């Protein structure tokens, strides 16, 4: 059996964290969490997932885009402590789904969460965040106050990302986010549009939670039923995305991970990783499609590469200047890549509907899709006393209910 050279193994593992890095730190920066804590929870969550899945599945777990808007709302309404507890409880929902899959099989999910429901929900995730991307793209403060120079920076950053995606060099088209951010940042740096002071003042070594506390971005998780009920429905979407990612990595490696170690184990690992992240003050974890794409290109099928990437993420969490640097990235630079990132999320939802060959000659199909899109994008919420179900969660609940009532796909 051929054994990789240790240096080559380390290099491939480092490449995986590099691929995930852009999206990994983007989520905490957007929602007001500390990126160093997110790095730690991503690494720790990946190692926990690897253990639960018997070190068989080569995936990397990190910050989930599906929770961006819900986290922003929850922090504003309930505070950091309640939000972290709610995110941990979202992980509990994953473990419940894992138990259902173990006892009932995957078909139970296909019954209640078919593509006709999950596709529009994914579209809602992307489009509901579009105003965030535009506000950041046209202003220096991220609040939508138009500035011509900011718009030019975001346009340049977006263009670089598009060029990378279209590049014939495979190593470039799997790194569009981080390369575009680097290019946009360099433009701002050399034109004097960045504040390098925080990086200069930051120590080399930090304790992530102390740094997060000083920045007002960490509190001990506290029980809040209202926050939990608001957050739980959101977890349905990344749980479904998880299944798609496991199918994808199975196709890439030519191994059926749905059978061994089993979807129940991968879902459990994802859930426990999200619970850990919530308890430690990080964003929820999810399996990263970017890394799966890198695995397909490099043929790096060994789990050890993901474990190395996880360990590197944990180490980077304690580098103070890195966390400070990430928080100096100008708003229009982030906005430029977000236009692409959020648009691609919506496109994934459209692709889900297309691949499912949904019958749009059936008016019942139109009804389910229409309700999910209007409720989700329109921002409709349901409030009962101090409890609130956000628009994404409400759209999901209504979509699931309508689909079961109307029996989509069942012939009359």
Three-state secondary structure readout of the chain: CCCCCHHHHHHHHHHHHHHHHHHHHHHHHHHCCCHHHHHHHHHHHHHHHHHHCCCCCCCCEEECHHHHHHHHHHHHHHCHHHHHHHHHHHHHHHHHHHHHHHHHCCHHHHHHCCHHHHHHHHHHHHHHCHHHHHHHHCCCCCCCCCCHHHHHHHHHHHHHHHHHHHCCCHHHHCCHHHHHHHHHHHHHHHCCCCCCHHHHHCCCECCHHHHHHHCCCCCCCCCCHHHHHHHHHHHHHHHHHHHHHHHHHHHHHCCCCHHHHHHHHHHHHHHHHHHHHHHHCCCCEEECHHHHHHHHHHCCCCHHHHHHHHHHHHHHCCEHHHHHHHCCCCHHHHHHHHHHHHHHHHHHHHHHHHHHCCCCCCHHHHHHHHHHHHHHHHCCCEEECCEEECHHHHHHHHHHHHHHHHCCCCCC
Q: Is residue 411 part of a domain?
A: no
For residue 92, the model assigns a pLDDT of 92
Q: Is residue 132 part of a domain?
A: yes
For residue 412, the model assigns a pLDDT of 42
Q: Is residue 74 part of a domain?
A: yes
Q: Is residue 85 part of a domain?
A: yes
Cα torsion 371, 376, 378, 382: sign = positive
* Structural domain boundaries, residue 333: 6-406
Contact of 408 with 362, CB cutoff 8 Å = yes
For residue 277, the model assigns a pLDDT of 94
For residue 411, the model assigns a pLDDT of 46
Q: Is residue 75 part of a domain?
A: yes
Q: Is residue 331 part of a domain?
A: yes
Helix axes 331-356 and 115-128, enclosed angle (nearest 10): 160
| pTM (2 d.p.) | 0.74
**Measured between alpha carbons, how far is 113 from 111 in angstroms, rounded to an integer?**
6
- Overall domain count for the chain: 1
pLDDT tens over the chain, length 412 residues: 455 667 777 877 777 777 677 678 888 988 889 989 999 999 999 999 999 999 998 889 988 877 888 898 899 989 999 999 999 999 999 999 899 888 887 777 777 778 888 788 878 877 877 887 898 899 887 777 888 999 999 999 999 988 887 775 665 655 677 788 889 999 998 888 888 887 888 888 889 998 888 888 889 999 989 899 888 888 877 887 787 678 777 877 888 887 889 889 999 999 999 999 999 999 999 887 667 766 766 677 888 989 998 998 999 899 888 777 877 888 898 888 888 877 877 887 888 788 888 888 888 888 999 999 999 888 888 876 666 677 877 888 888 899 888 876 544 4
Q: Is residue 140 part of a domain?
A: yes
Q: Which residues pair with 286 in a beta bridge?
A: 62
Q: Is residue 412 part of a domain?
A: no
């Amino acid at each position: 059996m051929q054994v990789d050279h240790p240096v080559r193994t380390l290099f491939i593992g480092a490449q995986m964290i590099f691929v995930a890095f852009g999206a990994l730190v983007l989520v905490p920066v957007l929602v007001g969490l500390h990126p160093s804590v997110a790095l730690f929870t991503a690494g720790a969550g990946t190692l926990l997932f690897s253990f639960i899945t018997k070190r068989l599945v080569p995936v990397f777990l990190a910050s989930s885009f599906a929770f961006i808007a819900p986290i922003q709302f929850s922090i504003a309404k309930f505070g950091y402590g309640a939000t972290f507890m709610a995110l941990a409880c979202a992980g509990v929902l994953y473990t419940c789904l894992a138990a259902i899959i173990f006892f009932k099989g995957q078909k139970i999910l296909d019954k209640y969460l078919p593509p006709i429901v999950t596709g529009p929900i994914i579209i809602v995730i992307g489009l509901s965040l579009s105003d965030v991307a535009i506000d950041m793209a046209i202003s220096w403060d991220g609040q939508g106050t138009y500035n011509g120079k900011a718009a030019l920076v975001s346009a340049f950053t977006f263009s670089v990302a598009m060029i990378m995606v279209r590049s014939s060099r495979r190593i470039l088209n799997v790194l569009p986010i981080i390369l575009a951010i680097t290019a946009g940042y360099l433009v701002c740096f050399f034109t004097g549009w960045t504040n390098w002071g925080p990086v200069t003042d930051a120590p080399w070594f930090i304790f992530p939670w102390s740094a997060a506390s000083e920045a007002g971005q960490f509190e001990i998780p506290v029980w809040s039923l209202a926050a939990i009920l608001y957050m739980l429905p959101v977890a349905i979407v990344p749980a479904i995305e998880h299944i798609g990612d496991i199918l994808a990595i199975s196709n890439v490696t030519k191994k059926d991970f749905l059978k061994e170690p089993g979807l129940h184990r991968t879902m459990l690992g994802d859930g426990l990783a999200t619970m850990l992240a919530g308890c430690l003050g990080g964003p929820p974890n999810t399996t990263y499609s970017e890394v799966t794409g890198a695995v397909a290109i490099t043929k790096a099928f060994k789990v050890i590469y993901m474990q190395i990437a996880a360990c590197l993420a944990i180490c980077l969490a304690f580098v103070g200047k890195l966390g400070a640097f990430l928080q100096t990235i100008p708003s229009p630079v982030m906005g430029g890549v977000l236009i692409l990132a959020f648009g691609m999320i919506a496109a994934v939802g459209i692709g889900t509907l297309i691949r499912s060959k949904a019958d749009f000659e059936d008016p019942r199909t139109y009804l389910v899709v229409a309700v999910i899109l209007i409720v989700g994008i329109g921002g409709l919420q349901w409030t009962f006393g101090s409890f609130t179900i956000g628009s994404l969660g409400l759209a999901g609940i209504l979509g699931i209910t309508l689909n079961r009532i109307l029996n989509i796909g069942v012939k009359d």
